[in-house]
Structure 1
């Protein structure tokens, strides 16, 4: 299994509703079309966590290339206003991403971590943002 994390360009906080749900649907469609086998997917406002079974016929870099390229194209088709407002360079995603291999001993831990990403976001919203120095 692999745990992926990637962010939108400029770390924009664009994945609030309805955009979060739309991106989830887009990625799930890619999962189905390319037989990737995503077992966990969570989308906080400014990044994405995804856990993929390693039986996929694609390498982690191929998986990421397919998901990033198709999801950006489909997301911008649905929401061209978001592209104009936040992504003036025309790219939804940064070039980089994080990926780690998950062993059986840590699979449950990573899955719970991914599932709890929105809970952590809610806690931060309740406590407010950090006070500035100036």
Structure 2
């Protein structure tokens, strides 16, 4: 999936995993549905392309294609920040844990070709 602007062509796909504080299984039923809505709103607002989303009781997998001017750390901050703020206001039971999310998160870049393929392509540039 390529994203084109006046200055660039990119394919930046990020796989995020977010975990509630102490890996509590709080992302269930209405909380999970509302979290999905919040993420969909952010996707629309920022012009991201959602590739996959899975909300499990104790973690979230989020695969998104993002523009070049938005760093993965910003994306994580926006998702976790808005979700925490809104979910804790709307679901008082979430106030029992000190914060909704663990301070850490996982992010990995996901490409359309393997790293080995790109490495070979670069190494073969001189011979072409």
Category of TM-score, reference length = shorter chain = 0.7 to 0.9
Match of 2:104 in 1: 96
Matched, 1:47 2:47: no
How many residue pairs get aligned? The number is 102
Task: Point out the structure with max Rg over C-alpha.
Answer: 2
CA RMSD, Structure 1 to Structure 2 (Å): 1.5
The change in CA–CA distance for 1:43 and 1:56 in structure 2 (over 3 A counts) is farther
Give distance in 1, aligned partners of 2:68 and 2:75.
9
Post-superposition offset of 1:103: 1.2
The change in CA–CA distance for 1:81 and 1:28 in structure 2 (over 3 A counts) is same
Contact 1:4 1:97 in 2 (8 A): yes
Match of 1:4 in 2: 16
Give distance in 2, aligned partners of 1:11 and 1:102.
25
Match of 1:114 in 2: none
- String of CA shifts for 1:99-127, please: whole Å, max 9, x gaps: 11111147xxxxxxxxxxxxxxxxxxxxx
So what's the TM-score if we normalise by structure 1? 0.70
Contact 2:94 2:100 in 1 (8 A): no
Give the structure with the higher percent strand: 2
Q: 5 Å matches for 1:14-33?
A: 14-33=26-45
Contact 1:36 1:63 in 2 (8 A): no
So what's the TM-score if we normalise by structure 2? 0.73
Matched, 1:81 2:89: no
Unmatched tracts of structure 1, length 5 or more:
107-134
